[in-house]
Amino acid sequence: MISRGGFVLITTQDLGVTAGETVLFSGLDLAVDAGECLVVRGANGAGKSTLLRCLYGNQTPTSGSVSVCGGPPDERSAAFRRRVSVLFDDSALFDELTPRQHLDLLRNSFGGELADGPVPAPDVPAAELSAGQRRRLLLHAAVARPHEVLLLDEPERALDADGRAWLSTLVTTSTGRGAAVVVASHHPPLADEVADYVVDL
């Protein structure tokens, strides 16, 4: 995949990860410019989450190189985390805080506006939210953080039909503001709606 000539925010060169005896992917050359969305597809265990972890710098690839926002990704770097927002399976909430409190905290830290779309059960402690409500809150939080790059790992998980439609809007809003977005997904309509590129692992 070659950059279309825009401002490139994510590149990989000859990227590969081998887990045990299994080659998850190899020789992966990606380029995602500002304002573009890459959707990563593949069966369970294909390596989608692994690829996203390589882009966030919390997994070291077996071969090749990654550049995100102009350098190697490093999730431990506060400067890097200010430029890259993520939703991973293990993304956590503060159990005792409500959605409203979570989002107030983000607004106080970063300013800016929340995404359109209802905040689920705004006054219920996070520990008591349903899986879909948690996912909606995590998505609100991911896009509320300032970001040049947005990495979303199976964001459609646990969302209802309205939530999945809202998810597409979130992604296109983010790319419309100039972010480079990478989404690992099992939901074919999402790729149809938001992808500039699709990679099948």
Ligand X SMILES: Nc1ncnc2c1ncn2[C@@H]1O[C@H](COP(=O)(O)OP(=O)(O)OP(=O)(O)O)[C@@H](O)[C@H]1O
Stretch that binds ligand X, among 47-55, 64-72, 110-118, 140-148 (CB under 6 A): 47-55
Does 42 participate in binding ligand X (rule CB under 6 A)?
A: yes
Complex with ligand X: residue 83 or 187, whichever CB lies closer: 187
| HEC per residue, the chain | CCCCCCCEEEEEEEEEEEECCEEEEEEEEEEEECCCEEEEECCCCCCHHHHHHHHHCCCCCCEEEEEECCECCCCCCHHHHCCEEEECCCCCCCCCCCHHHHHHHHHHHHCCCCCCCCCCCCCCCHHHCCHHHHHHHHHHHHHHCCCCEEEEECCCCCCCHHHHHHHHHHHHHHHHCCCEEEEECCCHHHHHHHCCEEEEC
* Options 26-34, 41-49, 106-114, 142-150: segment touching ligand X (CB under 6 A): 41-49
Stretch in the footprint of ligand X (CB under 6 A) among 27-35, 43-51, 128-136, 155-163: 43-51
Which is closer to ligand X, CB of 147 or CB of 187?
187
Nearer to ligand X, 44 or 108 (CB): 44
Among 49, 98, 133, 174, binds ligand X (CB under 6 A): 49
Q: How far is the CB of 154 from ligand X (least distance, A)?
A: 6
Choose which of 1, 14, 45, 107 interacts with ligand X (CB under 6 A).
45
Contact residues for ligand X, defined by CB under 6 A: 19-20, 24, 42, 44-50
